[in-house]
Amino acid sequence: QASLLASWFTAVGQSGAAFVHDLLGGAPPVQADVALLLKLLPVLEQAEPDAARRLLDSVQAPLLVVSYPAQSL
């Protein structure tokens, strides 16, 4: 799916990047205008305690959009 998004950036002439990264180790070492963390933090916490806080501390973006699922699986 990252390659599909990267192709879309090229097709519309928009600068941007898409890649895969293991977020349990922290945020990728790139700067961004905004980071979308959609329904992600509870999944990280379930995999590894304190992973969500570490990710939030390491994101290099001035704006974070965070959402939580309405229901848990």
Is the pLDDT assigned to residue 12 strictly greater than 80? yes
The yes-or-no verdict on residue 64 having pLDDT over 80 is yes
Per-residue pLDDT for 71 more than 90?
Answer: no
Alpha helices in the chain (DSSP H): 2-11, 41-47, 51-58
Residue 28: exposed, middle, or buried by beta-carbon count in 10 A (0-12, 13-18, 19+)?
A: middle
pLDDT of residue 4: 92
Residue of higher predicted confidence among 19 and 22: 22
Residue 73, pLDDT score: 67
49-53 long-range Cβ contacts below 8 angstroms, 24+ apart: 51/23, 51/24
pLDDT at 2 over 90: no
Please tell me the predicted confidence (pLDDT) of residue 30.
Answer: 93
